[in-house]
């Protein structure tokens, strides 16, 4: 599943699981998450320029900041390059949606500039950025700084769905009543049924997110009603949800049906796994 991977490709990052296992004294939450990447995402290009700047195009580009509020320029500022650069972002992923779009964009900027960067400084920009620099399926722990790549992770047919809700991550964490939950179970052995294993795991932010944004439950229910659906779950802090299927045909047909029945929602069939 590496055919679409290029330095400027910024794939959607999906939390197949998200267990919140504690909270540090400085407020950072501790997590235990299985992360996979989609073969669909944003695209970033870069050229030398007289000044550092960012242009945003694409179907999801409206409202995306082009100044230093954008993680692309913040990440570029951490890279020791002699000359400024102009970036162009083709935005295909919805913003504030739980698929790590901004972090994946920032990681693409770092890859395109082809320089070594201090990952501890990058981590302060966003906990998701380091795992997005090399987008491979991984178990992520700590505050996102402990990344263990999962070898030979299968490529999973999936549908991503966002009911056009912008969900503020801090609000969802604030609504989480229990900050000390059980970690993931041991990963399945090579050749084991990952989907069956995933069904026994959780996203601890799903309940709090639904309590704040009931439309997320509508999205989950719509996915669950598609033919061939094996498991549905919210990704990250929401509002994007995903469903897994056994075949590409089932996923593609489900996406077509959902697009027809909910034309105002963002729907995308894809495969989830490692992109590098």
Give catalytic residues, as residue numbers: 13, 128
CA distance 44 to 58: 11
DSSP annotation of 83 reads S
- Cα dihedral across residues 33, 105, 110, 172: positive or negative: negative
- Identify the residue whose tokens are 């964009």: 105
DSSP annotation of 18 reads B
Residue 26 sits at φ, ψ, to 5 deg, of -85, 5
Give residue 234's region: left, alpha or beta (phi > 0; psi -120 to 50). beta
CA distance 78 to 133: 14
Please tell me whether residue 92 adopts helix, strand or coil conformation.
coil
- Burial track 105-137 (b if 16+ CB lie within 10 A, e otherwise): bbbbbbbbbeeebeeeebbebbbbbbbbbebbb
Which pair of tokens denotes residue 13?
């990052």
């Amino acid at each position: 599943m590496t055919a679409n991977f290029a330095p400027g490709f910024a794939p959607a990052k999906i939390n197949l699981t998200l267990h919140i296992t504690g909270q540090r004294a400085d407020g950072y939450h501790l997590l235990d998450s299985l992360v996979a990447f989609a073969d669909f995402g944003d695209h970033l290009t870069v050229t030398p320029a007289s000044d550092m700047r960012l242009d945003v195009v694409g179907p999801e580009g409206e409202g995306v900041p082009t100044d230093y509020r954008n993680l692309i320029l913040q990440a570029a500022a951490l890279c020791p390059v002699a000359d400024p650069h102009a970036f162009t972002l083709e935005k295909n992923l919805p913003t504030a949606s739980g698929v790590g779009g901004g972090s994946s964009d920032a990681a693409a900027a770092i890859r395109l500039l082809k320089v070594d960067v201090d990952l501890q400084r990058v981590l302060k920009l966003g906990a998701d950025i380091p795992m997005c620099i090399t987008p491979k399926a991984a178990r992520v722990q700590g505050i996102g700084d402990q990344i263990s790549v999962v070898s030979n992770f299968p490529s999973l047919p999936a549908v991503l769905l966002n009911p056009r809700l912008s969900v503020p991550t801090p609000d969802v964490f604030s609504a989480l009543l229990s900050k000390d939950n059980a970690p993931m179970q041991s990963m399945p052995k090579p050749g084991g049924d990952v989907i069956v294993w995933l069904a026994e795991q959780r996203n601890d932010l799903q309940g709090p997110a639904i309590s704040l944004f009931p439309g997320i439950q509508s999205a989950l229910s719509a996915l669950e009603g598609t033919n061939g659906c094996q498991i549905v779950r919210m990704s990250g802090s929401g509002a994007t949800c995903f469903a897994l299927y056994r075949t590409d045909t089932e996923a593609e047909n489900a996406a077509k049906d959902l697009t027809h029945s909910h034309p105002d929602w963002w729907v995308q069939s894809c495969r989830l796994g490692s992109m590098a």
